[in-house]
């Protein structure tokens, strides 16, 4: 995956009801934006009269021209509703209010708005026209709310009924206070209009909520429910998910069947299964952990892995700049820990790059590295050669496997006998990136980069930046970038030991890492 910045999502709030939480988390979060949208629209509508009144009053006061304003009480009512709309809009923007409580607030707001509309419309129209208006905006508002703000149909129906009753209630109160003189026909008409609004609102709520439930069902993979997509790459997608029973967060990597009905190709299925099986074999704490693997009802292949809290090395350097040598060594040795076990199991990662090196807060540890994405992993037999006839560095379409900026010369040349020393070369490219913020080679095309890796001697990293790099560390990086695999460190274990020997000055440690994370507040 090329976009693997996975963050721990917020836990379900205590105010979420089981019925409402049946929707996907990202749709639940849309409630927040929808309530803000409704509050903003109604704020504009109700603030119009008070704004015109204030402008007129200001002009009259400054010019000394006496102006008679009628029905100031209605203007004050509109102003009060506008202020309430501001309050709802602000609360909807606060991330601390769970979606369920926000939905309840929105429904109470709907009832209050409908009452204010019915009360002021009946009264003002009677004062101005001498008759009770045949229709108010109450049915329109009742229909509008469930179409914009998703919620369980029964809950939306209850709010719609309450909002619909505000029209005859307002008419009754105005009659009791002597402000209007309605007849039976006026009451019947207010009930009928509200009933139509309630009916359409309930149908709209069922459609909107049903679509959300369909999305939720489509996102269920075995025991996991997909919540939000985190990234998309060549082999599929990565989603934040949650186990439906254990409530444990996870990252789900999946590949879906093709839209043309051909399904998943045998090669892609084989690679996907191989990746899941390869990671499941590894126990290094610096290799991402796999929980589960399976096939969904719709034919999508997926596996569940731990959800990490942090950012990858690509984003790290782009956001914060090159690292000091001590920190680079600290991170690289953890990468070597993962690769050492992979090599001991006869596996070659073949796609070591900054985007696949994830820095996270892992329990009480900071700057804890996890190596991701074994989608291009290859198995070696006991003799160090690739197992199987399909172990070539090329696909059936003769496309070089790997990422051009971090690919070993033998991979770039399509060598059929790429071994674990290709990962050593890629780790050298990653070290170069961590220290300089630049790639070893650049070119206008991918082929140009591959040619550089195969033939061009690399520039020493100290020549690319203004600050010095420890000579022992720079020499080791240049050795990792040797064109001939025999001239590189032969194993990840050897590379890790030599990185430790290259350390000079104050070493990076957990205390310094914790201080950096607390200072920068990455997530």
Q: Catalytic residue positions?
A: 351
Q: What is the dihedral of CA 446, 449, 453, 455, to 10 degrees?
A: 110
Quote the tokens at residue 237.
Answer: 């997608």
CA end-to-end distance (rounded Å), the chain:
20
CA distance 169 to 237: 53
Q: Is 140 exposed, middle or buried (0-12, 13-18, 19+ CB in 10 A)?
A: middle
* CB distance 442 to 449 below 8 Å: yes
* CB distance 320 to 517 below 8 Å: no
* CB distance 512 to 323 below 8 Å: no
Nearest alpha-carbon partner for 103 in 145, 46, 163, 43? 145
CA distance 426 to 473: 16
Q: What is the dihedral of CA 322, 324, 330, 335, to 10 degrees?
A: 20
Q: How many helices (H) and strands (E) would you count in the chain?
A: 15, 11
Nearest alpha-carbon partner for 351 in 240, 450, 444, 430? 430
* CB distance 201 to 146 below 8 Å: yes
Q: How far does CA 353 lie from the centroid of its chain? A: 22
CB atoms within 10 A of CB 403: 21
- Per the document, the length of the chain is 523
Greatest CA span in the chain, whole angstroms? 101
* CB distance 251 to 306 below 8 Å: yes
CA distance 143 to 122: 20
CB atoms within 10 A of CB 94: 9
**370: Cβ contacts below 8 Å, ≥ 6 apart:** 286, 287, 288, 306, 308, 338, 357, 358, 360, 362
**Within 13 Å of residue 502, how many CA atoms lie on the same side as its CB?**
25
Quote the tokens at residue 58.
Answer: 């200001």
């Amino acid at each position: 995956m090329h976009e693997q910045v996975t963050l721990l999502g917020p836990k379900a709030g205590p105010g979420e009801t089981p019925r409402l939480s049946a929707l996907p988390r990202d749709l639940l979060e849309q409630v927040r934006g929808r309530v803000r949208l409704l509050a903003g629209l109604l704020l504009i509508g109700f603030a119009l009269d008070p704004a015109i009144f204030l402008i007129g009053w200001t002009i009259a006061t400054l010019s000394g021209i006496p102006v008679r304003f009628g029905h100031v009480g209605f203007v004050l009512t509109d102003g009060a509703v506008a202020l309430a709309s501001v309050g709802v809009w602000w609360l909807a923007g606060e991330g601390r209010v769970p979606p369920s409580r926000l939905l309840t607030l929105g429904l109470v707001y709907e009832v209050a708005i409908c009452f204010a509309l019915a009360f002021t419309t009946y009264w003002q129209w009677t004062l101005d026209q001498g008759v009770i208006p045949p229709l108010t905006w109450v049915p329109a508002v009742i229909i509008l709310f469930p179409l914009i703000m998703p919620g369980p149909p029964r809950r939306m129906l209850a709010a719609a009924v309450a909002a619909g009753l505000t029209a005859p209630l307002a008419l009754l109160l105005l009659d009791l206070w002597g402000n209007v003189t309605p007849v039976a026909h006026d009451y019947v008409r207010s009930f009928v209009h509200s009933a139509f609004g309630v009916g359409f609102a309930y149908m709209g709520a069922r459609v909107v909520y049903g679509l959300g439930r369909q999305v939720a069902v489509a996102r269920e993979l075995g025991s996991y429910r997909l919540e939000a997509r985190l990234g998309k790459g060549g082999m599929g997608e990565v989603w934040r998910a949650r186990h439906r029973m254990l409530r444990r967060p996870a990252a789900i990597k999946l590949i879906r069947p093709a839209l043309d009905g051909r399904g998943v190709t045998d090669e892609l299925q084989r690679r996907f299964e191989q990746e899941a099986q390869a990671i499941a074999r590894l126990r290094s704490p610096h290799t991402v952990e796999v929980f589960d693997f399976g096939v969904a009802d719709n034919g999508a292949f997926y596996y569940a892995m731990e959800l990490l809290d942090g950012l990858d090395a690509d984003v790290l350097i782009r956001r914060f700049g090159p690292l000091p040598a001590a920190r680079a060594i600290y991170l690289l040795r953890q990468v070597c820990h993962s690769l050492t076990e992979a090599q001991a199991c006869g596996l070659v990662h073949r796609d070591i790059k900054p985007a696949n090196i994830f820095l996270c807060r892992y329990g009480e540890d900071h700057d804890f590295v996890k190596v991701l994405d074994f989608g291009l992993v290859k198995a070696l037999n006991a003799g160090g050669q690739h197992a199987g006839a399909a172990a070539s560095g090329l696909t059936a379409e003769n496309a070089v496997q790997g990422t051009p900026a971090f690919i070993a010369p033998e991979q770039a040349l399509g060598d059929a006998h790429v071994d674990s020393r290709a990962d050593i070369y890629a780790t050298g490219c990653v070290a170069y990136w961590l220290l300089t913020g630049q790639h070893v080679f650049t070119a206008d095309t991918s082929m140009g980069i591959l040619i550089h890796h195969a033939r061009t001697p690399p520039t020493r990293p100290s020549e690319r930046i203004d600050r010095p790099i420890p000579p022992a560390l720079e020499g080791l990086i240049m050795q990792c970038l040797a064109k001939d695999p025999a001239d590189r460190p032969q194993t990840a274990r050897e590379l890790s030991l030599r990185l430790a020997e290259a350390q000079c000055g104050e070493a990076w440690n957990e205390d310094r890492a914790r201080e950096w994370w607390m200072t920068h507040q990455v997530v």
